Amino acid sequence: MRHPVKPKCKHKCRFLQITDELWLCPHAAYGAATDLAGAVEEGRLLLDQAGGYDAVLARIQQREEEALAAARMRREAKSQRLADTLKYR
């Protein structure tokens, strides 16, 4: 599975993807849409309507942690099933 390269802010904060062509952080904007008139302002307005940068970032990080925990549980369950099938009877 290929993962797209995520842009990085020089201030070490995380860019949030607003659209396919617009990424925002509190300090900067990235992507092809940054050249369009009003795109960054509209993106920041959408981000504010969604609760602001910090709230959206917290929701994203929580989803990522839940996905990692679910993957860990699946991996452990698979290991347990494999261990159960290899036991001598």
Domain boundary assignment for the chain? 16-85
The pLDDT assigned to 1 comes to 44
Q: Which residues of the chain have pLDDT under 50?
A: 1, 3
CA distance 81 to 34: 50
Give the global pTM. 0.70
- Find the distance separating the first CA and the last CA of the chain, reported in whole Å: 39
Residue 64's SS3 state is helix
Based on C-alpha coordinates, what's the Rg of the chain?
Answer: 20
pLDDT of residue 3: 47
Contacts of 10 (CB under 8 A, 6+ apart): 27, 28
